Amino acid sequence: MAAITIKDMSVSYNKGKSYVLDKLNLTVQDGEFCVFLGPSGCGKSTAMHCVAGLLEPVDGTIHFGEELMTEVSGGKKKNFVPPQERNIAMVFQEYALYPNMTVRKNMSFALETKKAPKEEINKRVDTMAKMLSIDHLLDRRPAELSGGQRQRVALGRALVRDPQVFLLDEPLGNLDAKLRDQVRYELKKIQTQLGITTIYVTHDQTEAMTMADHIVLMKDGHIMQEGTPNELYNHPNCEFVAGFLGTPQINLFTVRVTEVNGALVLNADSFSLPVPVELVACLKPYAGKDVHLGIRPSDLLITEDGLIPAAVESIEPLGDAHLVYVRIGEQVVVVKHAEEEAPAAKSLKLSPNPAKLHLFDPSTEKRINP
Amino acid sequence: MQNHVGIERSREAQQAQTVKIRPRWHMTVLHIVYYFIMVAFLVFYMLPFWGTVMTSFKTNSEVMTSTPITPPTEWTLEGYASAMEELGMPLMTSLVVTIFGAAGSVFLGSVCAYALSKWRFKLNNVFFIALVAATYLPFQAILIPLLQTINALNLYDNVWGLVLVHSVFGMPMCTVMMRGYYADVPDALIRQAMIDGNGMWAIYRKIVLPNTMIATITTFVFQCTSIWNEMLFALVLGGYDSKPATIALNELAGTMAAEFNVQMAGSLILALPVLVLYIFMGKYLISGQMSGAVTAS
């Protein structure tokens, strides 16, 4: 087991004309479950393939613990440990089970390649198979398994090796929703149990939020923000991060910061909100200018004395809560109403949780409040 | 709802039937013409084969007195016995050349196809285009230098000389055929095997080969038939002691004074292995040639 350190890593497929990854710097702590999250084409899989050694960057270094795995500078390879010598395990989205081998053989293949003793291999395969409840499938071939079973075999095959780094490339992408929840839970449980440093690539923010110790949110080859799921959710450093995490999406308003009788107010066409005391200092420089105000659907409360008038457009029941789509001025926003009863009135008054306002600079899209 | 669908279906079926009941007259005439042409072609193709089989079972004297297509009055294996006397040794030569030549070319082709389809290296495409071009090379163009080379290697009139030549000259075709199959092996499988600790050769041996057995068999059968039937290299490089059966058969036709029953028996003996291969492996062969053709383009 080892920490993974990536320094100034750049990847280009066209000799430096454009970069898929641009000077990536990242540390994944020993034993951590790290999720690379981002929209498709953001470079998250590329970054993982570099860690695996399946791709060579044009610049940068990768260390596993103290061990140097990749060192390239200006397109010249100085050090490169091939994937087969990195002691990593990887699960691909398409599972990549060997069709000519039984489940047992699939799981023991890597250990046999390493020439581990036979009893040891059998013992490990049996233990892992039991852990993943695939012990009754050991003599079958991949073609005879269902999607979920193949998924487990792929996981088992990776875990049985006791790798120093565990890489998962959208491993739940091909499963149906119910199975996905179940495997997600098991995967996290096993990872915690074994304490293997793990990188998990996904574009699904729910997977990231539920499993990660550490989320790396990427866009266009850059890291937009990294941190714990809570940090990213509660303190997004830019509009992109705020919008990417959380379902339904965060509501964004354009408001003008105005000074009325010495106090700051956020003014929109159809409402105005007093600026909470703790935000006054950071909003002072924006007096007279527009800012973007982000409020998550669950932070908009329906109250009697709310300052934002809203007209109900439609209501989606979730069972324990309701998603209320309301019109505020010209804009339709979502309110997550955490009550079993849907609001009866057609026009509502909303008040945002003042501790959970997210303010962004409209030109840089960066966060304004601390 | 289900009833509805049922009614719809039976209506459709009725309509289909009415179409069948009233065939248009010109369609019928057209069909008769088609079948007439097809039967004519069938007879045209099968008659010589029929004549060959019938003649091969006749005595030499009956061959002289009957038409080739009439069945023998007295069935005999005389012709086969005489043919085997002449063809025995050459058939063995052909067998060795075919099996080892096909194995050699399939092995070389397989390795090339693996490298070309699954590993990126400089000039990858240039190599492939060169190989495809090589499959179009007319062999007579290189016959004289080839003869000189084989002579210099002291392999003239030697079974292993023919094996070598067939292995090398069969390789481009095998590469083109097998590359199509190997391209279908998912890259994720190769990457997975790499991560599981295997190098290029181990992946070839443990993953690619076992998962493409049909490709290997198909290409092998294809090579077997073409080497077995081959005459040009056999004639030029085979010499006297190690002449393959195709040459011996030709000599059978030339040297014997019109012993047609022996010639026909010899022809059938020579054709038999290829016919058997086609009957059992034809399915794979057709799909194999198709897949190679489509993916190579």
Domains and CATH numbers, chain A: 4-238 (3.40.50.300), 248-360 (2.40.50.140)
Q: A84 and B198: CB-CB below 8 Å?
A: yes
| Mean residue pLDDT across chain B | 83
Kindly state whether A56 is in contact with chain B, defined as any CB-CB distance less than 8 angstroms: no
pLDDT at residue number B13: 53
| B293 contact partners, CB below 8 Å, separation of at least 6 | B180
Give pLDDT tens digits for A292-349: 999 999 999 998 888 899 999 999 998 889 999 999 988 999 999 888 888 888 888 9
> For residue A271, what are the CA distances in angstroms to A253, A268, A306, A355?
11, 5, 10, 19
Q: Which residues 138-197 on chain A approach chain B with CB closer than 8 angstroms?
A: 161
Nearest CB among B197, B206, B210 relative to A84 is that of: B197
Kindly state whether A13 is in contact with chain B, defined as any CB-CB distance less than 8 angstroms: no
Nearest Cα to Cα of residue B60 among B280, B267, B256: B256
CB B294, CB B184: distance < 8 Å: no
Give pLDDT tens digits for B225-274: 999 998 888 888 887 888 888 888 888 876 656 788 888 899 999 988 88
Give pLDDT tens digits for A196-232: 999 999 999 989 999 999 999 999 999 999 999 999 9
- Measured in residues, chain B has a length of 297
User: At A191, is the secondary structure helix, strand, or coil?
Assistant: helix
| Mean residue pLDDT across chain A | 90
Tokens of residue A93, six digits:
């989205």
CA distance B50 to A15: 67
Q: Is the pLDDT of residue B290 over 60?
A: no
Average pLDDT over residues B43-47: 92
Give pLDDT tens digits for A251-276: 999 999 998 888 889 998 888 888 88
CB B224, CB B98: distance < 8 Å: yes
Q: Is the pLDDT of residue A190 over 60?
A: yes
Q: What is the CATH number of domain B78-296?
A: 1.10.3720.10
pLDDT at residue number A238: 93
Residues of A in Cβ contact (< 8 Å) with B186 = 94, 96
Pairing of strands A358-360, A290-295: antiparallel
Interface-testing mutation among B185, B192, B198, B209, with chain A (most A C-beta atoms within 10 A): B192
Interface-testing mutation among A92, A125, A155, with chain B (most B C-beta atoms within 10 A): A92
The residue type of B235 is: L
Q: Is the pLDDT of residue A358 over 90?
A: yes
> For residue B86, what are the CA distances in angstroms to B62, B63, B94?
22, 20, 14
Residue B85: in which H helix or E strand, if any? helix B78-118
CA distance A148 to A183: 8
Nearest Cα to Cα of residue A79 among A44, A53, A45: A53
Percent of chain A surpassing pLDDT 70: 100
The residue type of A195 is: G
Nearest CB among B186, B195, B202 relative to A89 is that of: B195
Residues of A in Cβ contact (< 8 Å) with B198 = 84, 113
ipTM given for this complex: 0.75
Pairing of strands A197-202, A251-260: unpaired
Nearest CB among A90, A100, A114 relative to B195 is that of: A90
Q: Which regions of chain B carry the CATH code 1.10.3720.10?
A: 78-296
Q: Which residue has the higher pLDDT, B294 or A51?
A: A51
Residue B277: in which H helix or E strand, if any? helix B260-296
Give pLDDT tens digits for B92-104: 999 999 999 999 9
Strand partners, A337: A322
Kindly state whether A109 is in contact with chain B, defined as any CB-CB distance less than 8 angstroms: yes
Interface-testing mutation among B119, B195, B205, with chain A (most A C-beta atoms within 10 A): B195
CA distance A194 to A178: 25
Q: A83 and B186: CB-CB below 8 Å?
A: no
DSSP secondary structure code for residue A342 in this structure: P
